[in-house]
Structure 1
Amino acid sequence: MASLSLSLPAFSSSRPLARSSNERQALFSRIAPVYDNLNDLLSLGQHRIWKRMAISWSAARKGDWVLDLCCGSGDLAFLLSQKVGFEGKVTGLDFSREQLSIASARQDSFWKPCYKNIAWIEGDALDLPFPDSYFDAITVGYGLRNLVDKHAAMKEVFRVLKPGSRVSILDFNKSTNSSVVFIQEWMINNVVVPVASNYGLAEEYTYLKSSIDNFLTGKELEKLANELGFSKARHYEIGGGLMGNLVATR
């Protein structure tokens, strides 16, 4: 049985999902100090495999300029840095200053020469501060599901992506398979929330089930991408169907 990754922002299910930017930033700030430890613990390290798959699907190459959207503490950005090398450029964008601070600290502590090509930007995924057709590849790890307006976010991704280039979006899979749904719910109730409670974050992570329920299925993600003008869109189920990765070509 695959474990669940906890690469996600936190909202409480005991009240409506936070809508304002300030509320969401505050919630991100609360989980930032233990974010990476929980990811490793709850996924048994498998989130690293899924993230490498997402990078591979992005088709990023040496010398490319790439964007890691909703970058959090930087896992995908660091992998992209190694892909594009010294000639390339990686931009990690997130709306949480605390997460970006941790990403920057990790950049220094896990130093590799190629990491010089990473720049961290505090910004809004629904209003990207980049010109049209700017990036050769884009990745999103556990971010799209938690954005208030997924249509607007995907429209911005389409706008800043170069024609013929890809976006690779890794997230929880909203499965239509009842067995997968059962496993997801069991693990959230019996693994995720109990472990998060040891860090004083049970309330923040109990929202996970409702966030998956309110997400799009793989087919719906493909449809959204096609409606926005992407030439190809395919959603892959990974991690035993618990996770999914949308690959869309502009």
Structure 2
Amino acid sequence: MASLHFLLRPSSNPNLLALPSRSRPVQCANERQALFSRIAPVYDNLNDFLSLGQHRIWKRMAVSWSGAKRGDDVLDLCCGSGDLAFLLSERVGSDGKVIGFDFSREQLSVASSRQHLLSKACYKNIEWIEGDATKLPFSDCSFDAITMGYGLRNVLDRGKAMQEMFRVLKPGSRVSILDFNKSTKPFITSIQEWMIDNVVVPVATGYGLADEYAYLKSSVQEFLTGKELEKLALEMGFSNAKHYEIGGGIMGNLVAKR
């Protein structure tokens, strides 16, 4: 769901790859890291219920906009429980490679478990790595496409995260970033806030996660508008950037080309 500054450390889970020892520890945003870890066990069920399954359509759109194709090496940042990574895996096939990257070990454990349960042949091309989206442990120009679902909104330094995406992306390739849309239209904003207050938080309360989901409204309010996201991408070096409003303007997807 999200990736933030955190303490890089080797994983005790054999299904997760440890980061290179040259990676230095960075300061941890403890509260948010713990928040997403607590959400992990029920995250998928809540997403399905709260979006009436629509999040699956939005994620397919994000993957399509990334331009990933068969045989590509691709990166899914803030991969959470792996939805976008699995879609990317199907697109690049067994000839390609998918890295699912997230700061939450619990989310990665869920993703790894799903990988084994689903047992689709192409899913063997996915590796899960725990790490910081603002300090990626990959070489320059490593990936043919990058996706990021519901993560940039929660990264402490969005500019640095975009800079890192630009660095590890191959020239001419694209990054596709799906998230809530911070609309400039009062009507859309009021619908978003009503849904969060009257649907999302009450449902999350039933799962014992009221506090974990109450942060959502403020995180959207503090996010960037579509135009601001386009501007940020261009400032970080991308040659062009376009933000699309989807889901009736409730969601948005930034597509930027290196």
TM-score by length of 2: 0.89
Deviations 1:121-159 (A, max 9, x none): 011101000000000000000000001010000000000
TM-score by length of 1: 0.92
Residue 106 (1) aligns with residue 114 (2): yes
Residue ranges of structure 1 left out of the alignment (5+ in a row): 1-6, 10-18
How far is the alpha carbon of 1:27 from its aligned partner? 1.4
- Counterpart of 2:28 (choices 15, 20, 26) is 20
Residue 41 (1) aligns with residue 49 (2): yes
Q: What is the match of residue 200 of structure 1? A: 208
Residue 168 (1) aligns with residue 176 (2): yes
Deviations 1:155-190 (A, max 9, x none): 000000000000000000000011100100110010
Residue 186 (1) aligns with residue 194 (2): yes
Deviations 1:8-59 (A, max 9, x none): 68xxxxxxxxx83333322111111100000000000000000000000000
How far is the alpha carbon of 1:229 from its aligned partner? 1.0
Provide the rounded CA distance (Å) in 2 between the counterparts of 1:113 and 1:233. Answer: 34
Provide the rounded CA distance (Å) in 2 between the counterparts of 1:214 and 1:22. Answer: 19
Q: What is the match of residue 81 of structure 2? A: 73
Deviations 1:207-236 (A, max 9, x none): 111101100000000000111110110000
8 Å contact kept, 2:2–2:155: no
Q: 1:75-90 maps to which residues of 2 (within 5 A)?
A: 75-90=83-98
Provide the rounded CA distance (Å) in 2 between the counterparts of 1:171 and 1:90. Answer: 21
Residue 236 (1) aligns with residue 244 (2): yes
* Residue identity in the other structure for 1:36: D
Q: What is the match of residue 13 of structure 1? A: none
Distance 1:8 1:40, change over 3 A: farther
Provide the rounded CA distance (Å) in 1 between the counterparts of 2:78 and 2:110. Answer: 14
Deviations 1:70-110 (A, max 9, x none): 00000000000000001100000001000000000000111
Q: What is the match of residue 19 of structure 2? A: none
Provide the rounded CA distance (Å) in 2 between the counterparts of 1:91 and 1:8. Answer: 15
* Residue identity in the other structure for 1:240: G
Q: What is the match of residue 14 of structure 1? A: none
Q: Percent identity?
A: 75
Aligned residue for 1:126, secondary structure, equals: coil
- CA RMSD in angstroms comes to 1.1
Q: What is the match of residue 214 of structure 1? A: 222
* Residue identity in the other structure for 2:232: L
Provide the rounded CA distance (Å) in 1 between the counterparts of 2:240 and 2:162. Answer: 14
Provide the rounded CA distance (Å) in 2 between the counterparts of 1:202 and 1:190. Answer: 12
Q: What is the match of residue 249 of structure 1? A: 257
Which of 21-30 and 227-236 deviates more? 21-30
Provide the rounded CA distance (Å) in 1 between the counterparts of 2:118 and 2:239. Answer: 38
Provide the rounded CA distance (Å) in 1 between the counterparts of 2:36 and 2:181. Answer: 22
* Residue identity in the other structure for 1:235: H
Q: What is the match of residue 140 of structure 1? A: 148
Instruction: Count the aligned residue pairs.
Output: 235
Q: What is the match of residue 102 of structure 2? A: 94
Provide the rounded CA distance (Å) in 2 between the counterparts of 1:25 and 1:56. Answer: 29
* Residue identity in the other structure for 2:115: Q
